[in-house]
């Protein structure tokens, strides 16, 4: 099979007469579900697949044939290993698929992403980020599942977003509105799930009352992820070197040189998911491993 992307491998056509016929699996060569013009050249024995432009579904309305489903087991509110309408992620037209309202997930439920034509995505176990997906041929053994509890999440209601282009899955507690103008971000480098020196909502702390800001969900940190606290107006907090308390912060004018950062490794902690809380009044940061 030969596609528009020159990096894809070619697959030579082979004429056979026995019953053990090799089959083409476009997904193994990086193709996605969609509408294709297909050309078979029996002189060169090459099959060419060209995706029809504008084929990305995205009305924002439910269609069982274009939706991607949270497909798995261990649910309380849904039938295990069925295409539950409530677990459908609906295409938005930009490569993202979003749950139609809140989805109730148990801490230890397990799932992959599946379409009704058995196109599927499972957890990429070789990726640094837990919520990275990879496409594969449907496997009824149902391994390589996503499990919220393995990523430090509790059971509850979540808004689920799957980015089919970036192959990332995002679970955000339902009802949590992240106002980027009032949030405080872990702002630094060498994160598992996010780009360096970026205001990413996965690393946001939101105000919950008084002077307290808390992470929306556990944040995936490496032992030597380094960060300071930053708002989008460039208000920032860095370690207070005048005290003996490591998580004591001090406010300062933004410094683009990015010196003065926190790391969980400096207090004997390692890679993991962490609940993060910041008291803007006392300027004290609390970082606790998610159970």
Q: What is the C-alpha to C-alpha distance for residues 144 and 123, in angstroms, rounded to an integer? A: 5
Q: Please classify residue 109 by burial: count the beta carbons closer than 10 Å to its beta carbon, then call 0-12 exposed, 13-18 middle and 19+ buried.
A: buried
User: What is the phi/psi pair of residue 110, to 5°?
Assistant: -140, 135
pLDDT for 61 equals 84
For the residues 233-243, what does the mean pLDDT come to?
Answer: 95
Report the distance separating Cα 289 and Cα 273, nearest Å: 6
80-89, 121-130, 186-195, 250-259: which range is least confident on average? 250-259
Average confidence score pLDDT of the chain = 86
- What pLDDT is attached to residue 37? 74
- Cβ-based neighbours of 54, under 8 Å, separated by 6 or more: none
pLDDT confidence tier of residue 261, bands split at 50, 70 and 90:
very high
What does the block give as tokens for 73?
Answer: 């087991």
- More confident of the two residues 204 and 255: 204
Provide the CB-side half-sphere exposure for 101 (13 A, CA): 5
Give the residue-averaged pLDDT of 251-274: 90
Q: What SS3 class is residue 241?
A: coil
| pTM, entire model | 0.66
pLDDT for residue 10 is more than 60: no
Q: Are 247 and 263 in contact (CB under 8 A)?
A: no
- Cβ contact 47:2 at 8 Å: yes
Identify the CA nearest to 208 among candidates 170, 234, 182, 230.
Answer: 182
Specify the pLDDT at position 177. Answer: 79
What confidence score (pLDDT) does residue 113 get?
Answer: 97
| pLDDT band, very low/low/confident/very high, at 4 (cuts 50, 70, 90) | very low
Give the pLDDT confidence of 120-161 residue by residue, as tens digits.
Answer: 999 999 988 899 999 998 888 777 899 999 998 999 999 999
Q: What is the largest CA-CA distance in the chain?
A: 80
Cβ neighbours around 146 below 10 Å, total: 23
- The more confident residue out of 259 and 166 is 166
Token pair for 60: 């924002």
pLDDT band for position 12 (cuts 50, 70, 90): low
Q: CB-based contacts of 95: which residues, under 8 Å, 6+ apart?
A: 56, 163, 164, 165, 166
Residue 179 has pLDDT above 60, yes or no: yes
| Confidence bin at 14 (pLDDT 50/70/90) | low
Please check the confidence at residue 54 and state whether its pLDDT lies above 50. no
Query: What pLDDT score was predicted for residue 19?
Result: 46
**pLDDT at position 135, please?**
94
Token pair belonging to 229:
């606290």
Q: Is the pLDDT of residue 57 over 70?
A: no
Position 28 scores a pLDDT of 62
DSSP assignment of 1-13? -B-S-TTSPP-B-
- Count the neighbouring beta carbons within 10 Å of the beta carbon of residue 96: 18
């Amino acid at each position: 099979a030969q596609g528009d992307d020159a990096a894809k491998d070619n697959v030579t056509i082979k004429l056979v007469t026995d019953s053990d016929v090799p089959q083409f699996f476009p997904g193994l060569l990086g193709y996605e579900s969609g509408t294709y013009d297909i050309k078979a050249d029996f002189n060169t024995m090459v099959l060419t697949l060209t995706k029809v432009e504008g084929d990305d579904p995205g009305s924002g309305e439910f269609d069982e044939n274009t939706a991607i489903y949270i497909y798995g087991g261990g649910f309380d509110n849904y039938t295990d290993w069925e295409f539950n309408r409530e677990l459908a992620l609906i295409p938005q037209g930009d490569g993202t698929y979003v749950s139609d309202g809140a989805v109730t997930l148990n801490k230890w439920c397990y799932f992959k992403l599946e379409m009704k034509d058995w196109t599927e995505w499972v957890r990429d176990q070789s990726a640094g980020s837990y919520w990275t997906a990879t496409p594969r041929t449907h496997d009824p053994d149902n391994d390589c599942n996503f499990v919220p509890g393995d990523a430090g999440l509790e059971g509850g209601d979540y808004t689920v977003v799957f980015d089919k282009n970036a192959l990332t899955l995002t679970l955000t507690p339902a009802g949590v509105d992240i106002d980027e103008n009032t949030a405080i971000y872990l702002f630094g480098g060498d994160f598992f799930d996010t780009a360096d020196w970026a205001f990413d909502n996965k690393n946001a702390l939101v105000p919950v009352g008084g002077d307290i800001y808390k992470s929306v969900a556990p944040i995936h940190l490496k032992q030597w992820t380094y960060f300071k606290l930053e708002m989008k107006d460039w208000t920032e907090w860095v370690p207070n070197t005048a005290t003996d308390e490591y998580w004591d912060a001090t406010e300062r004018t933004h410094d683009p040189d990015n010196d003065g950062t926190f790391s969980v490794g400096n207090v004997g902690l390692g890679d993991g998911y962490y609940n993060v809380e910041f008291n803007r009044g006392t300027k004290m940061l609390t970082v606790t491993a998610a159970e």
